[in-house]
């Protein structure tokens, strides 16, 4: 009888411990986590990141530009939980709805930013592309004028093969002139391009040193430069045919184990405070439509027409290697 009683007590303790195990494991998973974040190098320095997200355990993997990040996503180890800094020049070849999920956010966004039908790519900021010139200098007001001999060897642009801005400029021409017309444009303007650079920074430095009269870049570049030097030295114009936006996206991986924490980061980035204060400090336009932020109209003007939506991501995905190789052939002739 005593032996039976001992066996029954042992079994009850064993069963009780088994019942408690899942809840204990669940509690551990909720209190112990590290989010793997792929992030563009120019998105918040470490100090600002820590000030916004100091209560979250995060491993940051920084990438020089979004093209490198998109390439790394294909075979990443460790796999990212959250990606910040993709854009519409780099993510066309990603299988978006198989890599990421839609967190069903309900933030008021500006029109023309949601290029992804699945809703997995969350826009948080953008820039228009523009022609940058030095103050008190004649400048072209259209793509037709960019082809004039006046600008022979006087245009610098980042390379479309290696940079976000360069690729955006190529996509811009395709959105304006369609699949056949863009090649005619580049043949007409090729003699005016002095050099294609490996980075926007290199193009900017060469432009400032007087190696060209024009640079193709972000619309906010003059605003950044003029603030830096304390006077107005650079201006910008958007050609009459219209502009193209480079839109910055964040996305949460479909297999993210800590979606709650990843969503917490995204909600902070899309918060009114972050959009109104931090996004303009990174010289981007905020994605939210209810943000009041001041832009000096002398430095930045709104484009007469926006052609970004004319080139869907699926078209870029299908044709981008052809677009890039044909552009390279024309520029190198």
The residue segments making up the domain with residue 79 are 34-126+246-286
Q: Give the CATH number, domain containing residue 269.
A: 3.40.190.10
214 or 136, which is more confident:
214
Q: With respect to residue 28, please indicate whether it lies within any of the assigned structural domains.
A: no
Annotate 44-61 with three-state secondary structure. Answer: CCHHHHHHHHCCCCEEEE
pTM: 0.86
Give the pLDDT of residue 319: 92
Instruction: Give the chain's count of helices (H) and strands (E).
Output: 12, 11
Same domain for 306 and 183: yes
- Alpha-carbon distance values, 14 to 5, 11, 93 (Å): 14, 5, 53
Residues 183-237 have pLDDT tens digits of: 999 999 999 999 999 999 999 999 999 999 999 999 999 989 998 999 999 999 9
Q: Does 147 share its domain with 195?
A: yes
Per the prediction, the chain carries an average pLDDT of 86
Summarize the confidence of residues 304-328 as an average pLDDT: 91
Q: Are residues 309 and 179 part of one domain? A: yes
In a domain, 94, yes or no: yes
Task: Answer yes or no: is 18 within a domain.
Answer: no
Q: What pLDDT does residue 3 have?
A: 46
Say whether both 207 and 88 belong to one domain: no
pLDDT at 78 over 50: yes
Looking at residue 18, its pLDDT comes to 39
* Domain match, 210 and 165 both: yes
Peptide bond into 78 cis (omega under 30): yes
Phi and psi at residue 60, in whole multiples of 5°? -95, 130
Answer yes or no: are the C-beta atoms of 155 and 189 closer than 8 Å: yes
20 domain residue, yes or no = no
The number of folded domains in the chain is 2
Statement to judge: residues 145 and 203 lie in one domain: yes
- Same domain for 175 and 59, yes or no, is no
DSSP 79: P
* Confidence class for position 300, pLDDT limits 50, 70, 90: low
Q: Are residues 122 and 219 in the same domain?
A: no
């Amino acid at each position: 009888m005593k032996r039976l009683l001992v066996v029954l007590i042992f079994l009850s303790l064993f069963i009780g411990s088994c019942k408690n195990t899942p809840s204990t494991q669940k509690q551990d998973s909720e209190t112990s986590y590290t989010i793997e974040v792929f992030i563009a190098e120019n998105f918040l320095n470490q100090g600002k990141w820590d000030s916004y997200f100091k209560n979250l355990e995060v491993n940051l993997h920084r990438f020089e530009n979004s093209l490198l990040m998109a390439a790394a996503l294909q075979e990443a180890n460790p796999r990212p939980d959250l990606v910040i800094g993709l854009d519409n020049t780099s993510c066309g070849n990603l299988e978006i709805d198989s890599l990421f999920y839609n967190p069903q956010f309900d933030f008021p966004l500006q029109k023309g930013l949601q290029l992804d039908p699945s809703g997995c790519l969350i826009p948080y900021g953008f820039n228009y592309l523009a022609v940058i010139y030095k103050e008190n200098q004649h400048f072209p007001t259209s793509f037709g004028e960019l082809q004039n001999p006046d600008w022979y060897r006087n245009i610098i642009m980042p390379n479309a093969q290696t940079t976000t801005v360069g690729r955006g400029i190529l996509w811009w021409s395709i959105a304006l002139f369609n699949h056949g017309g863009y090649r005619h444009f580049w043949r007409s303007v090729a003699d005016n391009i002095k050099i294609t650079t490996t980075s926007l920074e290199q193009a900017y430095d060469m432009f400032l040193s007087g190696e060209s009269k024009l640079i193709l870049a972000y619309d906010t570049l003059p605003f950044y430069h003029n603030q830096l030097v304390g006077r107005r030295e650079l201006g910008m114009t958007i050609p009459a045919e219209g502009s193209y936006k480079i839109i910055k996206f964040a996305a949460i991986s479909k297999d993210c184990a800590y979606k709650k924490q990843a969503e917490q980061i995204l909600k902070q980035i899309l918060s009114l405070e972050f959009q109104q204060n931090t996004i303009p400090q990174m010289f981007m336009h905020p994605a939210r439509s209810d943000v009041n932020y001041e832009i000096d109209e002398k430095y930045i003007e709104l484009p007469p027409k926006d052609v970004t939506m004319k080139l869907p991501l699926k078209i870029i995905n299908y044709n981008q290697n052809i677009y890039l190789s044909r552009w390279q052939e024309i520029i190198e002739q």
